[in-house]
Amino acid sequence: MPMAPALITGEFRRLLDDRFRISLPQELEEKLAVESGQCMLIKERVGCLGLWNAQMWQAKLEADVELVKSKLAAGKLHEKIGELQLLGRLLSTRDASVTLDDRRRLLVPDGFRQFLGVEPGSEVMVVGAGVSIEIWNPRAWLAYVRKRMPKFRKLLNHLSR
Amino acid sequence: MPMAPALITGEFRRLLDDRFRISLPQELEEKLAVESGQCMLIKERVGCLGLWNAQMWQAKLEADVELVKSKLAAGKLHEKIGELQLLGRLLSTRDASVTLDDRRRLLVPDGFRQFLGVEPGSEVMVVGAGVSIEIWNPRAWLAYVRKRMPKFRKLLNHLSR
DNA sequence: CGAATTGTGGGATGGACGCCCACTAAAAAA
DNA sequence: TTTTTTAGTGGGCGTCCATCCCACAATTCG
């Protein structure tokens, strides 16, 4: 029987140190299954960064690109050249390969700091997102939970249907 | 053979100590049937936490994940991953895996303290909720009972019909 | 070339938590 | 009633780890 990888969950409060580092909870980090600390950092949405297992991110990315290609082949993107350009640009700044140090600390790279919208010395939330780890601006996290939690039951029912 | 679990009932007054621990009544705790003290703590509603048998919850969740994985294999990749992420985020802030100590004490984790809305040294109510144990803010419990008790007779009739 | 900035590593410290024992009050037994 | 047992609560101690702080290297800038 195929082993399902553990669902990554958990909510932790962390401090961004003066060097823009975040020490990840080992409970979450070990579930990413990254040997050598190599992973992918993604701009998920304003106020939220995603940290992925490199292989898994690659797979997801290829699936996305494959979809775009198939649509292209079907001629559905002819009037959307501009959007394709935009997609290309976004892909360029969207992710960065990062390495965790021996204490499971993540150094948030330059462009990602403003995107997260936090100052050195302030708090962030570290949250398990099923298949990835996410770093949240606390205010964005609060707003997100408020908005999405009401639909939790529905989502669970939907997925277990 | 599957044993019908005993209905968990009972109402107890307990102290939240200065380390945010609550000692559970053994009468309730033993009905959860947790060896090794592993269980799942849930934010049920503001002022109320639920404590569940971990295996029960795990089994349901694993089934969900397994189902999602099979759907993934069938091709609908990205939007399902998106839903999986969403589910993971909501689970992260809603649930926490906890371990009872040798005296059947529950350590209330950080995010759950504010949600319960009680100070260290104050009282909480520990209530059997049929299949789970609930920790209540006393004021929330009082308000809940006031509101729901009038319908008790009707509910009993309905369930025993 | 020197100074400031930034990435990287690691020692030191304090706080949180798990483990375990002590005290007390209440219940049960004698 | 007195004695014994049991359960709730408090807290000491050791460990782990998040954070603070410093050292050093690499890079950039004046």
For residues B54-67, average pLDDT: 79
Q: Which residues have CB under 8 Å from B18's CB, separation 6+?
A: B120, B121
- The answer to whether A54 and A34 have CB atoms below 8 angstroms apart is yes
Pick from B61, B63, B68, B54: nearest CA to B96: B54
- Domain contains B71: no
DSSP notation for B39-95? EEEEEEETTEEEEEEHHHHHHHHHHHHHHHHHHHHTT--HHHHHHHHHHHHHHHHHE
Mean pLDDT, chain B, whole residue set: 86
**Best to test chain B binding among A3, A7, A8 (most B CBs inside 10 Å):** A7
CATH code for the domain in which residue A72 is found: 3.40.1550.20
**Residues of chain A neighbouring B84 (CB-CB closer than 8 A):** 7, 130-131, 159
Confidence at A52, pLDDT banded by 50, 70, 90: very high
Give the model's pLDDT for residue A135: 96
Shortest CA distance from A130: residue in chain B: B88
Would you call A159 an interface residue with chain B, using a CB distance cutoff of 8 Å? yes
- Domain contains A61: yes
**A91: domain range?**
11-160
Residue A52, classified by CB atoms within 10 Å of its CB into exposed (0-12), middle (13-18) or buried (19+), is: buried
- Domain contains B149: yes
- Domain contains B47: yes
- Domain contains A3: no
- Domain contains B87: no
> For residues A156 and A150, which has the higher predicted lDDT (pLDDT)?
A150
Across the interface, which of A60, A145, A158 has its CB nearest the CB of B81? Answer: A60
- Domain contains A6: no
Distances (CA, A) of B156 to B150, B151, B153: 11, 9, 5
- Domain contains A34: yes
For residues A25-49, average pLDDT: 88
> For residues B134 and A62, which has the higher predicted lDDT (pLDDT)?
B134
Domains: count for chain A = 1
- The answer to whether A80 and A21 have CB atoms below 8 angstroms apart is no
pLDDT in tens, B8-22: 999 999 999 999 999
Residue B2 has pLDDT above 50, yes or no: no
Q: Do B88 and A13 touch (CB under 8 A)?
A: no
Q: How far apart are CA A50 and CA A40, in angstroms?
A: 8
pLDDT in tens, B123-147: 999 999 988 999 999 999 999 998 9
